[in-house]
Homo-oligomer: A and B are copies of this chain.
Amino acid sequence: MAVPPNFEFKNAESKTDLSTFIGLSAALLIILVTLILGGQYKIFFDLPSFIIVFGGTFAITVTATTWTDFVNALSVMKSTFRVTQIEQRVYAKKLIDLAMISRQHGAVNLQQYETALRSDGFLRQAVRLVTDGIKTDEIESLLKQEIDSNLQRQEQAIRVLRRAAEIAPAMGLIGTLVGLVQMLAKLEDPASIGPSMALALLTTFYGALLGTVILTPLATKLEKRTDEELTQKVLVLSATLSMARQENPRLLEIQLNSLLAPKNRIKYFEE
């Protein structure tokens, strides 16, 4: 059980989440190109229609929830575009690295790795609790509280996004009904029928765009992300408690493997 020679923790860097970014960009691009190829792309950009759908969805979502929850949902939604590129396999091994350092050189010695962990706030906080010699019970309660608080915040954001995704097409329909009624009321001018109706349908298009292309996929991605982050934080919790209790890192390996998906399980001590 030699201490890993040059311990690094570069994996936790935050990168753009390519599946979110490219997927969403591609969907919007495909639609945009279709608009331009149709040679009439200007008609698709209409400020009043935009306001009735995006503004209306925004206003009703705030009505149904609170301002705090809404702002929280927006900030959590943004986070789906960044991903901390961590392979759970690699992350679990790094946690055992830390456990072995702690085992062999004492928990206090972990202090020198704090800079290496600066990109992973939760892990750094956990390690500091150990080096500060806080009692195991308190460490467990503090970290669980942190995990809980984060989980609650993300679940609330997912609920707000799903609600907004239901409101968007309904606002689109309301906008189209307004447009149709206005068009039909002044039917005497036949030349204006086409463009008026085009304008009326625009809000339905905006509503479908906002609900189907933007809000629903991001809510689904956020659910997946929440699951992954929860797993990762529970890994850190296990490792931290193991270090605080000064248990054998071999025991930690078994615990981590029981938390990891089958394909990510590790064999640290047989390599």
Give A contacts to B, CB under 8 Å.
18-20, 22-24, 26-27, 30-31, 34-35, 37-40, 43-44, 48, 51-52, 55-56, 59-67, 70, 145-146, 148-149, 152, 163, 167, 170-171, 173-175, 177-188, 191, 193-195, 197-198, 201-202, 204-205, 208-209, 212-213, 216-218, 220-221, 224, 261-263, 265
Contacts and interface: CB of A to CB of B under 8 A. Distances in A.
B184 A198 contact: yes
B56 A171 contact: no
B171 A60 contact: no
Nearest to A42: B185
A64 B175 CA distance: 27
Q: Which of A51, A148, A173, A198 has the largest count of B CB atoms less than 10 A from its CB? A: A198
Count copies of this chain in the complex.
Answer: 5
B175 A34 contact: yes
B201 A184 contact: yes
A195 B187 contact: yes
B193 A149 contact: no
